Structure 1
Amino acid sequence: MKITKNYDLLRNALHERRQKLASLINSPAILWSGSSIARNYPALKLPFRASSHFLYFAGLPLENAAIRLESGKLELFIDDAPPSSTLWHGEMPKRAEIAELIGADAAFPMVDLKARGTGAATIALQDNLTALQQSQILDRPLAPSQSPAGIDLELAKAIISLRLTQDAASLAQLREAAAVTVEAHKAGMAATPKAEIEAGIRAAMESVIISHNMTCAYPSIVTVQGEVLHSEHYHNPLQTGDLLLADVGAETSMGWAADVTRTWPVSGKFSPTQRAIYDLVLAAHDACIEGISPGVEYRDIHLLAARIMAEGLVDLGILRGDVDDLVEMDAHALFFVHGIGHLIGLDVHDMEDLGDLAGYEAGRVRSSRFGLGFLRLNRVLRSGMLVSIEPGFYQVPAILNNPEIRAKYKDLVKWDLLEKFADVRGIRIEDDILVSEGGREVLTGELPTKALEIEELVAVNT
């Protein structure tokens, strides 16, 4: 609970965020932190994570708390811990101490919140218990967070406009998360030669994050099944010839995230086919990062990656045809199946609880195209945005063996040649990019991406 680092920076940032919100909305707003969820019996809880919207204005991961924001002022609502909790949880800070710490203008017990709920806007939380409490205190039904209405929609739009770009306090946190994430990935590479199953590498990576008093920003993906985009299994054995895809990111104690992916050979050496695809993905990665600057359409960055992937696959003989035609027909998406990236901030996919309201400019909707439908961000880039760049190549059986897809692309794909690349199940390379007035800054740039450097990091421990 105690803040000892960047204390003044945080206090000032919280004050400025509240003032900016006051200039954007006329109604009061109440934001809840949420509550713990029982794992399998009431006393055994899942790890608590406060609502990101609450964290943005309150700064601390308080549980069972709410804040009321109006005219730039903040009222904190939280109960003091009962004396009986001291035995189990130790001494907890009092309400007045917490209020002082976050710069609250007033502080009250939770029972007083009901009287202050009239006419307040909010954002519905994901857990049902808190969502029910929100509805009862505000005395009205709430729409899900991804489809807010009325004053809740206005609040969501205002918060999005603030959280789209990062201030100095959030950047300080994001840099810490990035630095620890880089260290974790290096530890994973170093642990590979002695690991027997994926879990051994996961353990090495997550131990670095835990040792810095951080948590994982999302369930770690550490897998030799790189074609499974969000695999959360770690039991597969590591065998010579396998590629290991690790998508692992740290989250600071204040909730700010990093998101990084690297792919490396378990043996410490890419095969010729693996190296060919890896270098293609890296070419897309590097070109997309180079293309980032204020005023650029993020959708165009995605299409740049699509074109580079299509051109490279033509050069390798996997695809055939004109590159522009292939991209227009979404042939590249047979292998590059997702969008080029997303916003990063307090959430690893920042503000996706608000659906496309956050990720898409007003008036824009998701495409129905195979090659564009998974694009999470469709906005003009502006200075202060933090985005991921994560091109990839995947051989997903459910896609490549689909009869309709086979028929549609039968003349564009050399299906028999794919057998030559059977040892490339999935490759992704991902970094966190800050859009700046000078163009861009790679917050995770200390982690190598070039194939030879990756091989050295793995092989040095053999």
Structure 2
Amino acid sequence: MAEKVADNSKNTETSAALKTEAAKRADNRTQRPESPVFRKFIGEDWGERPAGPTRAAVADYLPARHLKLGRLFPGEYLVFPAGELKVRSNDTDYRFRAHCAFAHLSGLGGEREPGAVLVLRPLSEPGAEVSEAEPTHQAVLYFHPRTSRSSEEFYADSRYGEFWVGARMSSAEMSVLTGLRVKNIDSLYEDLCAGEDGAGRGIRIIREADPQVTERISEIRSKNGLCGDPARDYALAEAASELRLKKDEFEISELRKAIDATGGGFTEILRSLPRAVGHWRGERVVEGAFGAKAREEGNGLGYETIAACGNHANTLHWIGNNGPVTPGDLMLVDAGIEMDSLYTADITRTFPVSGKFSPAQREVYEAVLEAADYAFETASRPGVRFRDVHAAAMEVITKYLEKWGMLPCSAAESLLPENQQHRRWMPHGTSHHLGMDVHDCAQARSEMYRDALLEPGMVFTIEPGLYFRADDLKVPPRLRGIGVRIEDDILVTENGAQRLSENIPRTADAVENWISQTLLH
């Protein structure tokens, strides 16, 4: 036994030594100035800071969001972490993008705010009855405010120091911007565990947003004898997702901006075609043209751009974009610009690289367009469920597949749930909700999403396609290698449905004219 104790002691010493050495190596490139003289010198003679932010437009919409969500969980703490920076490799991180539940309830967009946590603090007892308009929770935003320019953090902290990451906000400025009560992140766990009547109350958290915060919340729940059943947290995630199913006026306005910017991005793609055709990785020229517009007009891309020429269009998530752009082929681009508010567009256009569709290309394109139009007509009718939009598109798709002799049965038989042969050439769904996530509200229950009636304020895509791979022997030879998808963003209104992306050309003739006019100027 004595030998084992000695061995454990040696292992502990070795582990500590290795950690110390690793820490030293991590500082290899830092060479941080640490002299008292420097510390005093850097804290002196700084001018006044510029004026702080004004109240964000989204702040006026936050109370209604908090009220709707809070009424589902009276008397409980609801915790929404923003998330942490994600490591790309070694000590380099990706640009920060907050979890959507946090962004939606805090109103913070862009690259705000790594490490922050929004808490809906209960104002009533569990199970208490409250009036319809009476708030059930108070929103409190916990974050790391800036420190003074005389502090070591200012120049030495690569995560929060303003010398490294740029201007940061004080607690007062963050409160002005968001309209929320703001506290230092250091007080979060004390408030949840013992302070502000936190002890003994239920706590729910968006588990996947920040594993470290989730772990601490689990410890608090265990220490205080609170239920830690993950199902309770998943119910909060469902509710936060379902809260975004119907967009408010601010959200719809931001989506319109994103779609307009995306239309401009597609025009930049067309302008890039002459250079793309001459480049061995022309698809990346196309991708780059759109990406530049995304950074100019918004926060960046809403998702990885699909720039697929020729047979590559028949790979649904072709994001390598490493092929040529060849005259005579079709170019399928699925792309969206995300605004600083984090709302994104999701548009797909398929266009002929040479400027004109061949007869076979136009035939497939017109079939997909008809499917998209019929799906839109269906979405415009009262009493329609989300799943009916897909069914409508499939009616048209199967009609054409039967016409081309590609089905082993009739179109009607293929549409039966037990058959579905037509899905060989369109395996994806026709629609998904759109918002802060390109596939928004993904954690909503089926009865609230796929099986739900369409209601005013819902925004979703309609994106049928046909994918005829070059090696698919069931496809007529003249159609092989052709891949087409047409995707638009749709808003349900009181009077039906509106195609938000209607100004982005979509008919075959309009697309050809768009190319011609763009390349002339």
Q: Counterparts in 2 of 1:147-162, with a 5 A limit?
A: 149-150=231-232, 152-162=233-243
Amino acid at match of 1:101: L
Residue 372 of structure 1: aligned partner: none
Q: Counterparts in 2 of 1:245-260, with a 5 A limit?
A: 245-260=332-347
Which of 169, 176, 181 is residue 105 of structure 1 equivalent to? 181
Partner deviation per Cα, 1:330-382 (whole Å, 9 max, x = no partner): 12111111111101111110032x2xxx16116xxxxxxxxxxxxx8343211
Residue 274 of structure 1: aligned partner: 361
Amino acid at match of 2:231: A
Matched position secondary structure for 2:402 = helix
Query: Using the alignment, how far apart are the partners of 1:446 and 1:198 within structure 2?
Result: 24
Q: 1:377 to 1:216 in 2, by over 3 A?
A: farther
Residue 392 of structure 1: aligned partner: 465
| Correspondence 1:77 to 2:142 | yes
| Correspondence 1:443 to 2:491 | no
Q: 1:443 to 1:396 in 2, by over 3 A?
A: same
Query: Using the alignment, how far apart are the partners of 2:117 and 2:210 within structure 1?
Result: 15
Question: Which range moves more in the overlay, 105-114 or 253-262?
Answer: 105-114
Query: Using the alignment, how far apart are the partners of 1:359 and 1:189 within structure 2?
Result: 40
Query: Using the alignment, how far apart are the partners of 1:130 and 1:303 within structure 2?
Result: 42
Residue 322 of structure 1: aligned partner: 410
Matched position secondary structure for 2:324 = coil
CA contact (8 A) 1:217 1:251 kept: yes
Residue 238 of structure 1: aligned partner: 325
Q: 1:127 to 1:75 in 2, by over 3 A?
A: closer
Query: Using the alignment, how far apart are the partners of 2:212 and 2:192 within structure 1?
Result: 20
Q: Counterparts in 2 of 1:327-406, with a 5 A limit?
A: 327-328=415-416, 329-352=419-442, 354=443, 358=444, 360-361=446-447, 377-396=450-469, 400=472
Q: Counterparts in 2 of 1:132-151, with a 5 A limit?
A: 132-136=215-219, 138-139=221-222, 149-150=231-232
| Correspondence 1:297 to 2:385 | yes
Partner deviation per Cα, 1:263-299 (whole Å, 9 max, x = no partner): 1111111111111000000000111112114531121
Partner deviation per Cα, 1:44-72 (whole Å, 9 max, x = no partner): 21111101000111011311100110323
CA contact (8 A) 1:25 1:154 kept: no
Task: Give the drift of 1:111.
Answer: 4.0
Residue 69 of structure 2: aligned partner: 21
Task: Give the drift of 1:438.
Answer: 0.7
Query: Using the alignment, how far apart are the partners of 1:383 and 1:96 within structure 2?
Result: 37
Q: 1:93 to 1:40 in 2, by over 3 A?
A: same
Amino acid at match of 1:11: A
Q: 1:302 to 1:213 in 2, by over 3 A?
A: closer
Residue 307 of structure 1: aligned partner: 395
Residue 407 of structure 1: aligned partner: none
TM-score by length of 1: 0.85
| Correspondence 1:220 to 2:305 | yes
Greater RCO, CA 8 A, separation 6+: 1
CA contact (8 A) 1:193 1:459 kept: no
Which of 179, 202, 207 is residue 287 of structure 2 equivalent to? 202
Question: Which range moves more in the overlay, 210-219 or 104-113?
Answer: 104-113
Amino acid at match of 2:401: L
Amino acid at match of 2:70: A
Residue 113 of structure 2: aligned partner: 62
CA contact (8 A) 2:82 2:209 kept: no
Task: Give the drift of 1:305.
Answer: 0.8
Q: 1:8 to 1:235 in 2, by over 3 A?
A: closer
CA contact (8 A) 2:119 2:139 kept: yes
Question: Which range moves more in the overlay, 52-61 or 317-326?
Answer: 317-326
Sequence identity percentage = 29
CA contact (8 A) 2:306 2:333 kept: yes
CA contact (8 A) 2:82 2:116 kept: yes
Matched position secondary structure for 2:437 = coil
Residue 165 of structure 2: aligned partner: 89
Q: Which runs of 5+ in 2 are unaligned?
A: 1-50, 123-135, 147-152, 156-160, 194-200
CA contact (8 A) 2:344 2:436 kept: yes
Residue 164 of structure 1: aligned partner: 245
Matched position secondary structure for 1:205 = helix
Q: Which runs of 5+ in 1 are unaligned?
A: 363-375, 402-414
State how many pairs are aligned. 421
TM-score by length of 2: 0.76
Task: Give the drift of 1:131.
Answer: 4.4
Query: Using the alignment, how far apart are the partners of 1:337 and 1:153 within structure 2?
Result: 29
Amino acid at match of 2:509: L
Q: 1:434 to 1:3 in 2, by over 3 A?
A: farther
Task: Give the drift of 1:201.
Answer: 1.0
Partner deviation per Cα, 1:184-209 (whole Å, 9 max, x = no partner): 11221232233131111111111111
Q: 1:359 to 1:309 in 2, by over 3 A?
A: farther
Matched position secondary structure for 2:351 = strand
Query: Using the alignment, how far apart are the partners of 2:353 and 2:52 within structure 1?
Result: 42
Query: Using the alignment, how far apart are the partners of 1:220 and 1:79 within structure 2?
Result: 34
Query: Using the alignment, how far apart are the partners of 1:12 and 1:242 within structure 2?
Result: 49
Residue 367 of structure 1: aligned partner: none
The two structures, once aligned, show a CA RMSD in angstroms of 2.4
CA contact (8 A) 2:491 2:498 kept: yes
